[in-house]
């Protein structure tokens, strides 16, 4: 809770905590903008952009994003089935895998892709020895997902 107070103070006091705008210079390739500006220019661009970030608009963007991603996933399953001759969706047969038959969880191919896409940063940040020797349930799921992805691709 205490950290949120500090974050709020830092983000709401732009004069005491200015961002290093020079680090965002690359973003000015298309012209001055909200991210790459500071001070009065930032205020001007913030005022212009504010209506795009209303609750109503954020809800619309969220719902549209969920719909588009859901449609994309459905299409990907169809393409995968056509390309590989197998139903790879969560409802398809034989789509659960266990990486070692050990304590790691069995995941469907859909759960595997979900875990890999959401937790790839953890896999990249942790050394293999730590990931392989951990008894944390979350890390077991990640191990299972990456191993299962490798197994699934090798079967194709």
Separation between Cα atoms, residue 100 and residue 132, nearest integer Å: 12
* Between 146 and 19, residue with greater pLDDT: 146
Per-residue pLDDT at 57: 92
Q: What tens digit of pLDDT does each residue of 43-96 get?
A: 899 999 998 889 999 999 989 988 888 888 788 778 877 877 767 655 554 455
Beta strands (DSSP E) in the chain are: 96-97, 107-108
Q: Is the pLDDT of residue 39 over 60?
A: yes
Separation of CA 90 from chain center: 20
Per-residue pLDDT at 56: 92
Separation between Cα atoms, residue 114 and residue 68, nearest integer Å: 16
DSSP H or E stretch at residue 155: helix 137-155
Question: Collapsing DSSP states into helix, strand and coil, what is residue 2?
Answer: helix
pLDDT bin (cut points 50, 70, 90) of residue 104 is: low
* Between 116 and 7, residue with greater pLDDT: 116
Q: What is the pTM of this model?
A: 0.40
Picking from 94, 83, 100, 99, the residue whose alpha carbon sits closest to that of residue 156 is 83
Q: Give the position of tokens 């969880």.
A: 105
Q: Is the pLDDT of residue 102 over 70?
A: no
């Amino acid at each position: 809770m205490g950290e949120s107070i500090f974050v709020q103070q830092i983000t709401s006091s732009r004069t005491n905590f200015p961002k290093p705008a020079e680090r965002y210079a690359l973003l000015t390739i298309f012209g001055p903008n909200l991210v790459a500006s500071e001070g009065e220019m930032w205020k001007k661009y913030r005022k212009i952009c504010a209506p795009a970030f209303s609750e109503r608009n954020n809800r619309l963007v969220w719902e549209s994003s969920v719909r588009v991603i859901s449609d994309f996933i459905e299409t990907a399953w169809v393409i995968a089935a056509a390309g590989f001759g197998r139903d790879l969706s969560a409802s398809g047969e034989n789509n659960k895998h266990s990486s070692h038959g050990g304590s790691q969880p069995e995941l469907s191919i859909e759960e595997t892709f979900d875990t890999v896409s959401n937790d790839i940063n953890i896999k990249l940040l942790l050394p293999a020895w730590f990931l392989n020797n951990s008894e944390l349930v979350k890390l077991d799921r990640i191990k299972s997902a990456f191993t299962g992805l490798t197994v699934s691709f090798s079967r194709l």
